[in-house]
Structure 1
Amino acid sequence: MTTIARSSTHPITPRDLDAITAGYADALSRFGYDETRPERQWAVLSTDDDVQVWAIAWPPGSATGWHDHGSAYGAFRVVQGTLREHVWVGYDAASDLVVGRSRHFTDRHIHDVRNETTHWAVSVHAYHPALQSMTRYEVRDDQLVLSGRDEDGLSW
């Protein structure tokens, strides 16, 4: 079991979340997913008031769509396959993440994570505080436009 070390004098940072995803990378035996289902599948591996850890399985061609993570900081690590992260920096900038690669980010990070390959991918995600909402966006005429909001308990 992975434990999350905290100190009241040291707030949790995106780099701390990255380290947490590394600690959970080998714990995915608790996450079973069904490769016959065509949609992304996820499970919460751990949650408390400060940190929430998820596993996500990505079928070929799946994507999150453009979104942020509300007030949460985050990190994710690829543990199987390859994911492509598209980040909005005034335009779409993309990079590939292979097994063992990770990305950490603040609450201002807007991205679209995709499995653009023909094989399944699996990733581990950590959020601080626990994920409560995600703002959704669309790209229209080379501009990012607000399109909705997902809420914990209602949208996932």
Structure 2
Amino acid sequence: MSLAPALRSSTALTPRQLLSITHLFADEPRLKSFTDADGDDSGRRWYQLARTSRVQVWGIYWPAGSATGWHDHGDASGAFLTVSGTLTEHWWRSGEQVRQQRPGVGRPFTAAHIHDVRNTSSEPAISVHAYSPVLDVMTRYALRDGELWVTGTDRDGDDW
């Protein structure tokens, strides 16, 4: 798939196009800095790898046992690719669904997607995430009695 026409367009990129972008960034040298962070495994760390007016790309380091918590991505569609380690995605579609993502496995999603990504393994993981339009808000949820309940909102510039 050629991304050139999509990148010249003024519309948001599709989830499949975003997944292609995550593959382009999988060998990004800055991702190595996550493994060189002097053994700090206190929590997830993220680094913005690229941003234009229509797309945003992040690298995320996941220490063992870390998780995002249930959230959506506002109006943004997205995709993420596991680069190293194993991540487990819990997502909501008429109930909780689960899938593991090993290195090289990616996941595109629409703006309606609600999920909780976790590193349940004993080893760290690294992933690349892309969003379009750019990510400016995330709604947080809690799972209670088999239903998702809104618990808050995170905003770009305030919470990340």
TM class by shorter chain equals: over 0.9
Letter matched to residue 130 of structure 2: A
Change in 2 beyond 3 A, CA 1:44/1:142: same
For 1:6-38, what per-residue CA distance to the aligned partner results, in whole angstroms no more than 9, with x for missing partners?
2328751100000000000011x2131223231
Change in 2 beyond 3 A, CA 1:11/1:129: closer
Q: Distance in 1 between matches of 2:14 and 2:96?
A: 25
**What corresponds to 1:13 in structure 2?**
14
TM normalised by structure 1 equals 0.93
**What corresponds to 2:156 in structure 1?**
152
Aligned partner of 1:113 among 101, 117, 121: 117
Matched, 1:143 2:147: yes
Offset at residue 91 of structure 1 (A): 1.4
SS of the residue 1:22 aligns to? helix
- Aligned-residue CA RMSD (Å): 1.3
Q: Distance in 1 between matches of 2:9 and 2:99?
A: 35
Q: Distance in 1 between matches of 2:146 and 2:9?
A: 43
Gaps of 5+ in 2: none
SS of the residue 2:24 aligns to? helix
Aligned partner of 1:77 among 81, 85, 97: 81
Offset at residue 92 of structure 1 (A): 1.2
**What corresponds to 1:122 in structure 2?**
126
Name segments (4+ residues, structure 1) moved above 4 Å. none
Q: Distance in 2 between matches of 1:25 and 1:61?
A: 22
Letter matched to residue 75 of structure 1: A
SS of the residue 1:68 aligns to? coil
SS of the residue 2:27 aligns to? helix
**What corresponds to 2:23 in structure 1?**
22
Percent of residue pairs bearing the same amino acid type: 48
SS of the residue 1:26 aligns to? coil
For 1:83-133, what per-residue CA distance to the aligned partner results, in whole angstroms no more than 9, with x for missing partners?
000001121110000000000000000000000000000000000011101
Q: Distance in 2 between matches of 1:13 and 1:82?
A: 25
Matched residue pairs, number?
152
Q: Distance in 1 between matches of 2:77 and 2:44?
A: 22
TM normalised by structure 2 equals 0.91
**What corresponds to 2:64 in structure 1?**
60
**What corresponds to 1:51 in structure 2?**
55
Q: Distance in 1 between matches of 2:90 and 2:30?
A: 29
For 1:40-78, what per-residue CA distance to the aligned partner results, in whole angstroms no more than 9, with x for missing partners?
000000001100000000000000000000000000000
Gaps of 5+ in 1: none
Q: Is the 8 A contact 2:12 2:132 kept in 1?
A: no
